[in-house]
A = this chain, B = another copy of it.
Amino acid sequence: MKQGIFYAVGVGAGDPMDMTLRAKAVLEQADIIVTPIPKAGGTSAAYAIAAQAADLSYAERLDILFPMQAHNDYRERLRSGVLQPVCTALDSGRQVAMVTLGDVSVYSTASYVRQLLAEKGYATQVIAGVPSFCAGAAKAQQSLCENSESLQILPAVHSREAVETALEQFDNLVVMKAGRAMAWLLPLLRERGLLEHTTMLRDVGMPSEYIGKPELEPYSYFTTLLIKGGDL
């Protein structure tokens, strides 16, 4: 029997209309949709977004628990057999699509999953999506980079030093997953006179969306800072 294909599908940053035509088509043709959930009984933001723009009613839904933990834990967890139902489905010739927020190539669990399945010999495809920093820049009507400017994208987690280094010499900087780091990020930006050049994007495309000056609490896991240095 011909094995199925695994599709890692980026559904965009939160607004169903940001989904691509291909993401919609692939999800509507999938037999099984893998949805990453952060805790048992939890829901998948990516699935909820996709379901608003695509008809997912023909596909079986397969929740897989991905606790928000460090990188190595993820990989270990994946290798521990959590993907066995996916392999079984692919072996029986079914098409499996995994939904992920934003773009697959930017900090996504789906990327690890795809890699592991490819190592096991399965055919995989990646369906690109609009990353959150592009969706946020669009809503804020700001450019991320112009002409010969560079753009640097950093996650705030585990990298205060990296952020400080980046602020020494940068054109434009996007700091992702900034929520928990705001306590030290805000004073740092204020100190360097960069606060007025910073836009905070929280929960882009979701009901709790906030786009504006980086002052307003609460922050969330999906808090991104857009710091413009190139056009000062």
Across the interface, A105 reaches (CB within 8 A) one of B15, B19, B134, B147, namely B134
> Which residue of B is nearest A143, CB measured?
B111
Q: Are A148 and B153 in contact (CB under 8 A)?
A: no
Q: Are B138 and A148 in contact (CB under 8 A)?
A: no
Binds B, one of A20-28, A32-40, A76-84, A186-194: A20-28
A141: Cβ under 8 A from any B Cβ: yes
Q: List residues of chain B with CB within 8 A of the CB of A126.
A: 137-139, 141
Q: How far is the CA of A15 from the CA of B20 in the complex (A)?
A: 11
Q: Are B145 and A53 in contact (CB under 8 A)?
A: no
Q: List residues of chain B with CB within 8 A of the CB of A120.
A: none
Q: Are A20 and B19 in contact (CB under 8 A)?
A: yes
- B-contacting residues, A45-70, CB 8 Å: 53, 70
Chain A interface residue count, Cβ-Cβ cutoff 8 angstroms: 60
A135: Cβ under 8 A from any B Cβ: yes
Q: A111-B143, A148-B71 are in contact. Are A128 and B124 (CB under 8 A)?
A: no
Q: How far is the CA of A134 from the CA of B111 in the complex (A)?
A: 13
A43: Cβ under 8 A from any B Cβ: no
**A20 CB to nearest B CB, Å:** 5
Q: Are A105 and B143 in contact (CB under 8 A)?
A: yes
Q: How far is the CA of A15 from the CA of B19 in the complex (A)?
A: 14
Q: Are A128 and B135 in contact (CB under 8 A)?
A: yes
A195: Cβ under 8 A from any B Cβ: no
Residues of A within 8 A of B (CB): 10, 12-13, 15-22, 24-25, 53, 70-71, 103-108, 111-112, 114-115, 118, 124-131, 134-135, 137-139, 141-155, 157-159, 162, 166
